[in-house]
Amino acid sequence: MTAPIDFARHNEEVQRIWQAYHDRKPIRVPMNVNVSARYTLLNRDLNPAGYTFKSFISNPDVMWCHQLDRQWWIRHNVVCDQPMGPADAWTVSVDLQNSYEALWFGCPLEFWDDQCPDTRPILTDDRKRALFDAGLPEPFPASGWMARAWDYYEQFKARAQTEEFHGAPIRVGGVPGAGTDGPFTAACGLRGGTELMIDMLTDTDYYMELMDFIVTATIRRIRAYRERLGQAVESEAWGFADDSVQMLSVAQYETYVLPFHRRLCDEFGRKGPNSIHLCGNVQRLLPVIQRELNIQAFDTGFPVDHGALRKALGPDVQIYGGPHVGITHAGPPERLREEVRRVLQSGVMEGGRFILHEGNNLPPGTPLEHIAVMYDTCKEYGVYGGVETRDRPQFPT
């Protein structure tokens, strides 16, 4: 039988590890685990009510209840460098998964059994200019999923005034749309990945017009959302994503996407340092992104050669990373342990700016034993032996 977790002792260690990390005097590598709604919704044992993604996204009551139940389960079962046990407060946010940006531009949302929802492209060959003809979308549409998102947000705020969860208050997080998953990714969602790549090379004027339209609309939306949420509209440091750039060569990225990323960073991250999330095979692009956009924190997925990446980016850049998600999911534990050890001993720890995680979002069905193996291995091989690090600015998370 597994021994009960001493939450107080665990939380003291977590606080000590993170404080040392942020003070640039790391004791060992911190480890995070990202557990999204897909892990719990697609796991029958963790979803006894039988909620589907359709009911989760279509019903704000389901979204509210499942998020709270998921947080309770995480804080009592997922052992990593995150606080455990009862929380002082809980947070519920509007969650439309990674579909929100395409939804805002007008794509329809589709649901499938045992899968995350996704959108369908609307800029088919016979409607390539439909967005241009309609004009820039309003930041706050009168109907559709993004209008419903704001309605959910207001419902959540009202509930949070009167409800508690396990004796603690409930806070309301954000609404999807105050950031971006990236203009190239949005373009792929609107046009289709294959079609967009063909446009990029054979109908370049159209491609550039579409990217310009998306970035102009995105800037307008983010500024409007910040204002409505009571946030500072102007910012000097920023974080964003654009996973679909993994399809591009360095030269293609520099020609066809970098100018649009630069526009966004000039708007919201003029001074920096900035951060970016990029899943997939993007390692070849990261030095250019670092240099051109003042990105000093990279949230990676897989595949990544962590040692080579550290050499390319230098010791002062923050890197999130970990084992290949297939190994995290399938194991076996001995192989996972060896892979985590290999990552930690690759040279990525140089400078004290590495955070171990599960390859960016825990796959449904991953045994808790595998998380424990990662954490135990991190504690064994992620210890710093008298590493001197210098003070550096903190990066947005």
pLDDT tens sequence across 326-380: 999 999 999 999 999 999 999 999 999 999 999 888 999 999 999 999 999 999 9
Which pLDDT score is estimated for 324? 93
Share in percent of the chain as helix, strand, coil (round to 5): 50, 10, 40
Residues 6+ apart with CB under 8 A from 4: none
Q: What is the mean pLDDT of residues 287-307?
A: 97
Contact 396, 268 (CB under 8 A): no
At 355, which helix (H) or strand (E)?
strand 354-356
pLDDT tens sequence across 44-68: 999 999 999 999 999 999 999 999 9
SS3 101: helix
Instruction: Indicate if the pLDDT at residue 70 is higher than 90.
Output: yes
Contact 121, 107 (CB under 8 A): yes
Q: What is the mean pLDDT of residues 88-114?
A: 96
Q: Report percent pLDDT > 70 for the chain.
A: 96
Q: Which domains does the chain have, with CATH numbers?
A: 20-35+273-397 (3.20.20.210)
- According to DSSP, the residues that pair with 274 across neighbouring strands are 295
Which pLDDT score is estimated for 2? 58
Q: Which two tokens stand for residue 215?
A: 């970035």
Nearest-5° Cα angle at 110, 159 to 57 = 10
Q: What is the mean pLDDT of residues 99-121?
A: 96
- According to DSSP, the residues that pair with 321 across neighbouring strands are 356
Q: Report percent pLDDT > 90 for the chain.
A: 94
Which pLDDT score is estimated for 89? 98
Band the pLDDT of 265: cuts 50, 70, 90: very high
Which pLDDT score is estimated for 224? 98
Instruction: Indicate if the pLDDT at residue 229 is higher than 90.
Output: yes
Q: Which residue reads 């956009």 in tokens?
A: 293
Q: What is the mean pLDDT of residues 223-239?
A: 97
Distance CA(270)–CA(56), nearest Å, equals 37
Task: Provide the residue count of the chain.
Answer: 397
Which pLDDT score is estimated for 8? 96
Residues 6+ apart with CB under 8 A from 286: 278, 295, 298, 309, 312, 313
pLDDT tens sequence across 241-258: 999 999 999 999 999 999
Instruction: Indicate if the pLDDT at residue 260 is higher than 80.
Output: yes
Which amino acid is residue 349, in one-letter code?
A: M
Instruction: Indicate if the pLDDT at residue 387 is higher than 70.
Output: no
Within its chain, how far is the Cα of 156 from the centroid? 22
Mean pLDDT of the chain: 95
Which pLDDT score is estimated for 359? 82
Closest of 257, 254, 259, 286 to residue 196, by C-alpha: 257
Which pLDDT score is estimated for 83? 97
